């Protein structure tokens, strides 16, 4: 799948996907014909794993 499809499947912003790639948490394969970044089901699982382990910013009203 292309990079534009990954955020829809993982509920993560495109900026977060780019950040994960920049820091080495995601390393998509490249299409040899057009050099597009390609993500697979293992990348979806990895993004979901990262997302679920991040601290949540919840507001607690008293």
Annotate 10-52 with DSSP letters as a single string: HT--HHHHHHHHHTTS---EE-TTT--EE--HHHHHHHHHHHH
**pLDDT of amino acid 58:** 56
Record the tokens describing residue 45, joined without a space. 């699982």
User: Is 10 part of any domain?
Assistant: yes
Per the structure, the complete domain to which residue 19 belongs is given by 6-51
The total of structural domains in the chain comes to 1
CB atoms within 10 A of CB 7: 15
User: Is 19 part of any domain?
Assistant: yes
Q: What is the pLDDT of residues 20-60, one digit of tens each?
A: 999 999 999 999 999 999 999 999 999 999 988 877 665 55
pTM of the model: 0.76
């Amino acid at each position: 799948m292309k990079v534009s499809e990954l955020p829809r499947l993982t509920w993560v912003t495109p900026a977060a996907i780019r950040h994960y790639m920049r820091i080495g948490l995601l390393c998509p394969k490249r299409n040899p014909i057009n050099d597009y970044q390609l993500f697979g089901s293992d990348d979806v699982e990895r993004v979901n794993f990262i997302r679920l382990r991040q601290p949540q910013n919840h507001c607690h009203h008293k």
